[in-house]
Amino acid sequence: MLSPCSLLCRLATLLCVWLRLAGDKHKHYEGRVEVNYNGEWGTVCDDDFSIHAANVVCRELGYVEAVSWSPSSKYGKGEGRIWLDNVHCSGLERTLAQCESNGFGVSDCKHSEDVGVVCSQRRIPGFKFISTLTDNVESLNVQVEDVRIRAISSQRKRVPMTEGYLEVKDGGKWRQICDLEWTEMNSRVICGMYGFPGEKRYNTKVYNLLSKRRKKNYWGFGVNCTGNEASLHGCKLGHKVELRRNATCDKGLPVVVNCVPGRAFAPSHAQGFSKAYKVEQPLVRLRGGANIGEGRVEVLKNGEWGTVCDDSWNLKAATVVCRELGFGSAKEALAGGKLGQGMGPVHMNEVKCSGFEKSLTECYFNRDALGCSHEEDAAVRCNVPAMGFQNRLRLSGGRNPFEGRVEVLAEKNGSLVWGTVCSDSWGTIEATVVCRQLGLGFANNAFQETWYWPGDVSADDVVMSGVRCSGTEMTLAQCLHHGKHLDCPRGGGRFAAGVSCSETAPDLVLNAQVVEHTTYLEDRPMYILQCANEEHCLSSSAAAATSSSYRRLLRFSSQIHNNGLTDFRPRAAHHSWIWHECHRHYHSMEVFTHYDLLSLNGTKVAEGHKASFCLEDTQCEEGIEKRYECANFGQQGITVGCWDTYRHDIDCQWIDVTDVVPGDYIFQVVINPNFEVAESDYTNNVMKCRCRYDGHRIWMYNCYIGERPELTGDSFTFLSETYNINDRVALLS
């Protein structure tokens, strides 16, 4: 038992010790554990640290529990003293200072051994974060239970909610902040954390009048933000405020913020939000992300999209990207191709931003990306506004939260009711929009019968039919669909639309350079094309051709990469593959690619197609093992980081151009054209080339993947290089 003197000493120690999470962190609930003892910040050594100690740290900081802890300075090396070493906690201690250790300042560790923790995002209800006995509060981060923007009555029905009083929840109560030391940088951080790229002034007269009528309950501190924090929790506490009820903020008012939404989320009279967001002339875009506001960062240079190397990639650069695209600040700056790998060039390396640039292209960067592979592609996750999208849709009857019958909240006879979606024309693209709207990732499958998922009987009636989506929509309601006059012959219930979603998906991309370099013409006798003719790989005129005649074939190789996060697998199982007797092989997908020759105005003049007679790993990136091989009726697919090569010399790897007249054309290849297998990105499934045919030879040039950006004006500048429109080859639509 401690003596009264020892007890007083222990109590004195506890009063002058407090904690914070610091370092290279992405979220406010994780970071390097730092201890302030006698007014000086230091770190904790990872020797003997445990999940019990991590739980004590997290609870002391106001979180319910710890998720994990990390040794060896995962969040960067700290500075100053290493205050605690060989920490032993039972997990029941109220503070880290109560745990057994070598004593404050007694350590044989280096900062390379600084410990870090990841806490649960859940806060302890009613937790009092800042002790009134603490001195030097300006060195502490803002720690509160919750933050909100509380709209005034005239603004409460607006979606998204962009304006209102800023309130923080501390000690179980919502409190306002005095605006005497409030700055634009503080407002910038608040708007960013709520998904808005900027802030603007508000009508002070309205809030002055309201303030006089309302009883106020102020928080005891100011706030000091630099403007680059991802949320209010990254800001430092400002000065203490003397709490005297309504007289607390004598010469000021409660803080009000007014945010500017990005174009995708701008309120409209029709729906509360605009149609799917499209930048007129984007220089930066996101690809491969499962949800709104996330993806691999790609930049435009020389009319070609390329990726960003993750060397030096951080939250400041990620936030510049997010705000540029109309989102808020970045929640995460992801490295290592976490959201899929791109194709083509790496345009930027060692990006360094102040955080206040209007575009990523204004940041300093190294043009030399030597040594950077697509395994190092940078990505972001941005804060997006709360639009309430998830409240208008639900999945019912599934075995888990990622699958089920799609049910929509719709207006019927003046009231809102749940109902089903007609499955006529329902496909993978529509399922993709549903999964995105619910925040469940990518579509895995689209179902046109859902009798095996017993949904809510009261929601059996069809409330939406004729749904057709482009895939860019944020909600199912944004897709084309019938209005009040529904048309669904089979009805809902067992025939209602359904989906299954997945957090990851494959992403097939054709290597355009291989196509361009392997193209040639071959005149092949009809008598050795009988199998190909049976599989409809020749033009219609071949039906009347004699066995001694020749067909002119445009041949090429196609190298198809899987740059996604999941293996690409045919939807059909082994038992349903189709056997082709003439070629003596199975087709796992009847149409895997389309090959088309188009006139310059887009009219089709010749066509071909390729079934997946053998979908396998031809080659893989270094360190990745092949998993799929067609031999002996083996499993078919393409592993992540591998590619399947259809060589130019195999049957049907061509377009029959026997009847094509000489001229200039567009050559087009489309992978997975019927969206039979779900992917994370369909925009890179199309390759186009310019093509010139003189009757004897053929030239393929200017091949590109996806959409080719059109340029406006006389010239454009990007990355300090200027290009004249008249000097470039005409871009394809």
pLDDT per residue as tens digits for the range 523-568: 999 988 888 887 788 888 888 888 889 999 999 999 999 999 999 9
Residue matched to tokens 């506004």: 385
Query: Is the model's pLDDT at 270 over the cut of 50?
Result: no
Residues 146-170, mean pLDDT to the nearest whole number: 86
Highest mean pLDDT, choosing among 194-198, 264-268, 364-368, 487-491: 194-198
Q: What is the dihedral of CA 42, 47, 53, 54, to 10 degrees?
A: 70
The backbone torsions φ and ψ at residue 168, rounded to the nearest 5 degrees and listed phi first, read: -120, 145
Strand partners of residue 163: 258
Query: Is the model's pLDDT at 74 over the cut of 70?
Result: yes
Query: Is the model's pLDDT at 260 over the cut of 50?
Result: yes
Query: Is the model's pLDDT at 278 over the cut of 70?
Result: no
The band of 454, judged by pLDDT with boundaries at 50, 70 and 90, is confident
Query: Is the model's pLDDT at 718 over the cut of 50?
Result: no
Q: How far apart are CA 62 and CA 731, in angstroms?
A: 57
Residues 627-648, mean pLDDT to the nearest whole number: 87
Burial state string for 402-425 with b = 16 or more CB within 10 A and e = fewer than 16: bbbbbbbebeeeeeeebbbbbbbe
Take residue 426 and report the two structure tokens written for it: 């329902």
Q: Which domains does the chain have, with CATH numbers?
A: 18-119 (3.10.250.10), 146-264 (3.10.250.10), 284-383 (3.10.250.10), 389-502 (3.10.250.10), 509-705 (no CATH)
Question: For residue 214, which of 152, 161, 155 has the smallest C-alpha distance?
Answer: 152
The band of 215, judged by pLDDT with boundaries at 50, 70 and 90, is confident
pLDDT computed for residue 585 by the predictor: 62
Name which residue leads in pLDDT, 190 or 267. Answer: 190
Name which residue leads in pLDDT, 365 or 135. Answer: 365
pLDDT computed for residue 269 by the predictor: 43
Query: Is the model's pLDDT at 34 over the cut of 90?
Result: yes
Weakest-pLDDT range from 268-272, 481-485, 496-500, 705-709: 268-272
Weakest-pLDDT range from 393-407, 540-554, 605-619, 688-702: 605-619
**CB 242: neighbour CB atoms within 10 A?**
11
At 659, the amino acid letter reads D
Residues 608-625, mean pLDDT to the nearest whole number: 82
User: Which region holds residue 729: left if phi is over 0, alpha if psi is between -120 and 50, else beta?
Assistant: beta
Beta strands in 106-172 (DSSP E): 116-119, 146-150, 163-170
Q: What is the dihedral of CA 15, 17, 19, 23, to 10 degrees?
A: 150
**Pair 164, 179: CB distance under 8 Å:** no
**DSSP label at residue 499:** E
Question: For residue 592, which of 717, 508, 694, 489 has the smallest C-alpha distance?
Answer: 508
Three-state secondary structure readout of 528-548: HCHHHHHCCCCCHHHHHCCCC
pLDDT computed for residue 520 by the predictor: 94
Helix (H, G, I), strand (E, B) or coil at 390: helix
**DSSP label at residue 493:** G
Name which residue leads in pLDDT, 133 or 128. Answer: 128
Name which residue leads in pLDDT, 1 or 581. Answer: 581
Q: What percent of the chain has pLDDT over 70?
A: 87
In the chain, what are the helix, strand and coil shares in percent, each to the nearest 5? Answer: 20, 35, 50
Name which residue leads in pLDDT, 549 or 27. Answer: 549
Question: For residue 115, which of 50, 185, 193, 205 has the smallest C-alpha distance?
Answer: 50
pLDDT computed for residue 180 by the predictor: 87
Q: How far is CA 3 from CA 12, 14, 92, 436, 438, in A?
A: 14, 16, 22, 62, 59
Query: Is the model's pLDDT at 723 over the cut of 50?
Result: no
Take residue 267 and report the two structure tokens written for it: 């309120």
Weakest-pLDDT range from 585-599, 628-642, 707-721: 707-721
Query: Is the model's pLDDT at 400 over the cut of 70?
Result: yes
pLDDT computed for residue 170 by the predictor: 86
pLDDT computed for residue 272 by the predictor: 42
Strand partners of residue 421: 464
Q: Long-range contacts made by residues 131-136, C-beta under 8 angstroms, separation at least 24?
A: 131/15, 131/18, 132/220, 133/15, 134/18, 135/39, 136/39
Query: Is the model's pLDDT at 135 over the cut of 60?
Result: no
Q: How far apart are CA 285 and CA 282, in angstroms?
A: 7
Query: Is the model's pLDDT at 43 over the cut of 90?
Result: yes
Name which residue leads in pLDDT, 282 or 596. Answer: 596
Q: Cite the DSSP H helix spans in 194-328.
A: 204-213, 315-324
Tell me the pTM.
0.81
**CB 731: neighbour CB atoms within 10 A?**
15
In this structure, the strands spanning 619-620 and 663-671 are unpaired
pLDDT computed for residue 155 by the predictor: 74
Residue matched to tokens 């300093």: 364
pLDDT computed for residue 636 by the predictor: 86
The band of 623, judged by pLDDT with boundaries at 50, 70 and 90, is confident
Take residue 430 and report the two structure tokens written for it: 């529509």
Query: Is the model's pLDDT at 665 over the cut of 90?
Result: yes
Residues 209-230, mean pLDDT to the nearest whole number: 84
Q: How high does pLDDT run on average in the chain?
A: 84
Query: Is the model's pLDDT at 719 over the cut of 50?
Result: no
pLDDT computed for residue 302 by the predictor: 82
Residues 309-318, mean pLDDT to the nearest whole number: 92
**CB 483: neighbour CB atoms within 10 A?**
8
Q: How far apart are CA 303 and CA 569, in angstroms?
A: 33
The band of 583, judged by pLDDT with boundaries at 50, 70 and 90, is low
Half-sphere exposure of 155 (CA within 13 A, CB side): 17
The band of 581, judged by pLDDT with boundaries at 50, 70 and 90, is low
Query: Is the model's pLDDT at 348 over the cut of 70?
Result: yes
Weakest-pLDDT range from 67-76, 214-223, 354-363: 214-223
Q: How far apart are CA 366 and CA 386, in angstroms?
A: 36
pLDDT computed for residue 371 by the predictor: 78
pLDDT computed for residue 6 by the predictor: 41
Query: Is the model's pLDDT at 191 over the cut of 90?
Result: yes
pLDDT per residue as tens digits for the range 480-499: 999 888 999 888 888 999 99
